[in-house]
């Protein structure tokens, strides 16, 4: 199917938020969505964006749906001490009526182009264990399930644990942290602790 893949703009955030809620609903995680369109604008389109996003848009000639967003891929950059630059796909989604037409693959292909242009050597993402259809789709793209082959576990520190750790004085340790460490956190490579499995796998094309 013909569609236009372009960089998301701040004006797209209301539509993006609606699709984020749809994918969370599919994963029974709607109550875990704590952000809104305003947060998306601040985090993705400010001076130092925490994420990047590509959108799939219907081209001219589509009647009342001309310019309608029908899918997106949200991603951010990270770093591996083994391989260097990497890219994380946090969300991949295509509206249900447009699935099966290759749009999801187009979006992933464009993210891959961005990754290679930025010197990334790996693309990472997570899929819910129960989502066999999505797992099969990603495997057809050439993805490897590292949970099976490498035996790694994906861990998270959420609100309470994160605050508790940040307040840990490290009793017995002989080190001290300078105040500038926290102040300069905005210059890091990307957001931490993202819930990847809530994002990928329901909108494959």
Cα-based angle 50, 16, 30 (whole degrees, multiple of 5): 95
Rounded Cα distance between 131 and 113, Å, is: 26
- Catalytic one of 72, 88, 93, 138: 138
- Whether 138 is catalytic: yes
Cα-based angle 84, 89, 92 (whole degrees, multiple of 5): 165
Q: Which residues pair with 57 in a beta bridge?
A: 4, 69
CB 71 within 8 A of CB 107: yes
CB 200 within 8 A of CB 126: yes
Contacts of 158 (CB under 8 A, 6+ apart): 193
Residues with catalytic function:
138
């Amino acid at each position: 199917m013909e569609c236009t893949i372009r960089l998301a703009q701040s004006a797209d955030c209301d539509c993006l938020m609606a699709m984020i809620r749809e994918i969370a609903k599919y994963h029974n995680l709607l109550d875990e969505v704590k952000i809104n369109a305003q947060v998306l604008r601040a985090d993705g389109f400010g001076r130092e964006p925490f994420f990047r996003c590509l959108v799939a848009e219907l081209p001219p000639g589509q009647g009342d749906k001309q310019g309608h967003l029908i899918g997106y891929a949200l991603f951010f950059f990270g770093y591996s001490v083994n391989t260097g630059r990497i890219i994380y796909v946090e969300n991949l989604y295509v509206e249900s009526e447009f699935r099966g037409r290759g749009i999801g693959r187009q979006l992933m292909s464009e993210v891959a182009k961005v990754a290679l242009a930025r010197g990334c050597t790996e693309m990472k993402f997570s899929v819910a264990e129960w989502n066999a259809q999505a797992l099969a789709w990603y495997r057809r793209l050439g993805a490897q399930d590292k949970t099976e082959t490498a035996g790694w576990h994906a861990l998270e520190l959420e609100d309470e644990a994160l605050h508790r750790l940040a307040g840990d004085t490290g009793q017995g340790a002989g080190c001290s942290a300078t105040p500038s460490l926290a102040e300069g956190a905005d210059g890091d490579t990307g957001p931490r602790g993202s819930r990847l499995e809530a994002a990928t796998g329901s909108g494959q094309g």
